[in-house]
């Protein structure tokens, strides 16, 4: 077999759906292993795996559309993962009922602080209205954040990037901050991780404990709902 034929065969293999799906899962598992061994924030598995995949797609000339079709199974599994969060909430329902008032209060206060702080900082630096609208929902899970951003005249792609970076930063720094502040309440830990770092923070909260993970999952939904309601109100007042 000639070199050209070999290269063509490798190109066909790299572009196959089963290879791209396996490659994606393998890269993430390797990135997760590396992060757990090093605990370096910049080596977070989402950052590392995304960087490797981007370089791979550019090097092979595979389009994002082709890659997205090949990894559609991963998108599909997001549905069952949401159901899994609901099951975790159900198992911890007793704890959630006992702290219903504090949970709602914390989410509302966290949402107000997050919205107001972003607006004030953006206006202090003189950024435009589009940037402000894009960054306001930074602590909300990506689908809801993009909807809030686009409805307010923001840039959806910028919002998505900022939300992901916020989640990564929160999942890495959050547990350290909670330890330094000597916060021992499992409810408080879950609320902090879910409210500030949404899905990525919830994944980290689940590693901290069942209650933390359940409360963090609840905080994702509540934070999205409250933020969507408060953004136009607060922007109108400011």
Highest mean pLDDT among 16-20, 85-89, 191-195: 191-195
Same domain, residue pair 90 and 163: yes
Same domain, residue pair 27 and 96: no
88-112 pLDDT, tens digit per residue, is 777 777 777 878 888 888 889 888 9
Same domain, residue pair 31 and 90: no
Q: What per-residue confidence (pLDDT) applies to 167?
A: 87
CA distance 22 to 40: 25
Which residues are CB-neighbours of 50 under 8 A, at least 6 positions away? none
- Helix (H) / strand (E) element for 71: namely none
Q: Of the residues 76, 99, 134, which one is the last residue of a structural domain?
A: 76
CA distance 95 to 234: 32
Chain centroid to CA 72: 18
- Percentage of the residues of the chain whose pLDDT score is greater than 70: 92
Same domain, residue pair 60 and 97: no
Average pLDDT over residues 132-161: 84
Q: Which domain holds residue 91?
A: 82-237
Q: Of the residues 61, 76, 91, which one is the last residue of a structural domain?
A: 76
Same domain, residue pair 108 and 38: no
pTM equals 0.76
Q: What per-residue confidence (pLDDT) applies to 15?
A: 59
Same domain, residue pair 14 and 112: no
Same domain, residue pair 96 and 54: no
CA distance 59 to 138: 32
Q: How would you classify residue 61: left for phi > 0, otherwise alpha for psi between -120 and 50, otherwise beta?
A: left
19-38 pLDDT, tens digit per residue, is 888 889 999 999 989 988 88
Q: What per-residue confidence (pLDDT) applies to 9?
A: 44
Q: Extract the tokens encoding 206.
A: 């689940």
* Tally of structural domains, the chain: 2
CA distance 137 to 155: 12
């Amino acid at each position: 077999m000639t070199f050209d034929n070999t290269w063509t065969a490798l190109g066909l293999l790299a572009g196959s759906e089963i290879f791209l799906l396996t490659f994606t899962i393998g890269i993430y598992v390797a990135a997760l292993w590396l992060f757990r061994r090093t605990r370096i924030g910049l080596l977070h598995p989402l950052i590392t795996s995304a960087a490797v995949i981007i370089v791979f797609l550019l090097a092979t000339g595979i389009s994002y559309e082709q890659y997205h079709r090949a990894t559609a199974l991963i998108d599909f599994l997001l549905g069952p993962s949401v159901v899994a969060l609901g099951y975790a909430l159900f198992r911890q329902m007793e704890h959630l009922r006992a702290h219903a008032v504090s949970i709602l209060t914390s989410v509302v206060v966290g949402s107000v602080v997050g919205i107001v702080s972003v607006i004030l900082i953006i206006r202090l630096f003189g950024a435009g209205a589009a940037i402000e609208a894009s960054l306001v929902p930074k602590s909300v899970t990506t689908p809801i954040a993009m909807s809030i951003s686009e409805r307010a005249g923001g840039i959806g792609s910028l919002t998505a990037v900022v939300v992901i970076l916020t989640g990564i930063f929160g999942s890495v720094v959050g547990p350290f901050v909670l330890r330094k502040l000597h916060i021992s309440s499992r409810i408080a830990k879950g609320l902090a991780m879910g409210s500030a770092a949404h899905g990525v923070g919830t994944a980290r909260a689940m590693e901290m404990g069942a209650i933390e993970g359940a409360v963090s999952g609840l905080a994702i939904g509540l934070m999205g709902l409250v933020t969507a309601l408060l953004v136009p109100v607060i922007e109108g007042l400011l």
